[in-house]
């Protein structure tokens, strides 16, 4: 499959300050990619380079498998971190304007706008001026404006910041829809919990460099090992001796089991059933938050990229 978006060793400096220092990432069709990092890591600068708002000093941005052309951006839906609307325009006029900037024809857009406004329950506001809308309603209009022209790729900079729960839900549904349709989403966030729930792949950057990148599941496995939570009764001392279990850490009502790398839960469970009375057995992944802190910490200690796996699929 041709990646929808690739960044290849992109750099940007402001004077002596390296805002983005060789960031690479790939967004595949049918996936949601999270661009993660603490504030000031270079997420917005990277995204602005993707959107050709600022030019990289070095490196390349490729869309749809070839070097970026300016009109490629018409197939992208972009929501900047700093976002707004023309206050004096009516909702419909505004959406028509945004659609036309993406090359859509007004005639074709009108039904789509009606459909979208219906979906976000703002049909009665179509003829009202933007300034009459509440903040939550304006966020919905921004969302509609981002996807109205049916882009193949969404690039969202901190899409969840300042959103009320209803709009967060709308965004999450939208992301899921894009994954289902074989389109893709790249979004940035500094809130790991969101990325944890939504992303297929992540690219974690700190101080302008990629510290960790790849498939979220693989990363979790690598960082957290093959970790399981076991609630059981019986002679728990026997757990460590079960084949495939590397370590058993005793807990109140059971244990936390770290399996050997090539062992899987399905293999080990029958052996556990023989050894003890199992009440509950489930994989317990490490939180992305922990990985994030660990990875950023590592990279600061070594002063370089800890994520050797970066750019791998």
In the complex, the smallest distance separating the C-beta of residue 102 from other proteins, rounded to whole angstroms, is 6
DSSP code of residue 129: B
Distances (CA, A) of 194 to 57, 160, 183: 31, 9, 20
Residue closer to other proteins by CB (options 86, 267) is 86
Shorter beta-carbon distance to other proteins: residue 87 or 119: 87
> Where along the sequence are the contacts to other proteins (CB under 8 A)?
48, 51-54, 70, 73-74, 76, 78-80, 82-89, 93, 97-98, 100-103, 142, 145
Query: Would you give the DSSP letter of residue 285?
Result: P
Task: Decide whether 42 or 214 has the Cβ nearer to other proteins.
Answer: 42
Toward other proteins, which CB reaches closer, 14 or 251? Answer: 14
Pairing of strands 254-259, 245-251: antiparallel
Give the three-state DSSP class for 27: strand
DSSP letters of 137-191?
Answer: HHHHHHHHHHHTT--SEEEEESTTTT--HHHHHHHHHHHHHHHHTT-EEEEEES-
Task: Report the nearest approach of other proteins to the CB of residue 62 (Å).
Answer: 17
**Count of CB atoms within 10 A of residue 198's CB?**
21
Please give the structure tokens belonging to residue 128.
Answer: 């009202």
Of residues 74 and 218, the one with the C-beta less far from other proteins: 74
Residue 233 CB, shortest distance to other proteins, in Å, is: 59
CB nearer to other proteins: give 157 or 285: 157
How far lies 66's CA from each of 7, 25, 49, 94, 311, in Å? 11, 15, 16, 32, 18
Query: Minimum CB separation from other proteins for residue 17, in Å?
Result: 15
CB of 97 to other proteins, least distance (A): 5
Length of the chain, in residues = 313
Read off the DSSP letter of residue 90: B
Query: For tokens 């809130």, what's the residue?
Result: 191
- Residue 44 C-beta: closest distance to other proteins, Å: 10
């Amino acid at each position: 499959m041709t990646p929808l978006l690739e960044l290849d060793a992109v750099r940007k400096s402001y004077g002596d300050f390296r805002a983005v220092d060789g960031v690479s990432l790939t967004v595949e069709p049918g996936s949601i990619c999270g661009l993660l990092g603490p504030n000031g890591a270079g997420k917005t600068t990277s995204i602005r380079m993707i959107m050709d708002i600022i030019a990289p000093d070095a490196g390349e941005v490729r869309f749809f498998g070839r070097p970026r052309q300016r009109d490629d951006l018409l197939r992208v839906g972009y929501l900047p971190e700093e976002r707004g609307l023309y206050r004096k325009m009516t909702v419909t006029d505004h959406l028509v304007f945004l659609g036309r900037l993406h090359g859509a024809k007004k005639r074709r857009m009108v039904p789509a706008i009606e459909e979208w406004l219906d979906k976000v329950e703002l049909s009665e506001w179509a003829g009202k001026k933007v300034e009459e809308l509440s903040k939550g309603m304006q966020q919905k209009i921004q969302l509609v404006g981002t996807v109205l022209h049916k882009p193949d790729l969404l690039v969202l900079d901190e899409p969840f910041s300042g959103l009320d729960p209803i709009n967060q839900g709308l965004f999450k549904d939208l992301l899921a829809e894009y994954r289902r349709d074989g389109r893709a989403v790249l979004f940035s966030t500094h809130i790991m919990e969101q990325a944890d729930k939504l992303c297929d792949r992540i690219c974690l950057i700190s101080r302008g460099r990629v510290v960790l990148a790849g498939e979220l599941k693989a990363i979790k496995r690598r960082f957290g090992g093959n970790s399981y939570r076991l609630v059981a009764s019986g002679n728990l001392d026997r757990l460590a001796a079960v084949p495939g279990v590397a370590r058993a850490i005793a807990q109140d009502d059971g244990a936390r089991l770290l399996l050997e790398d090539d062992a899987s839960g399905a293999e080990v469970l029958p052996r556990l059933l023989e050894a003890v009375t199992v009440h509950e057995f489930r994989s317990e992944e490490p939180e992305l938050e922990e990985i994030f802190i660990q990875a950023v910490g590592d990279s600061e200690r070594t002063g370089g990229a800890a994520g050797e796996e970066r750019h791998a699929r």
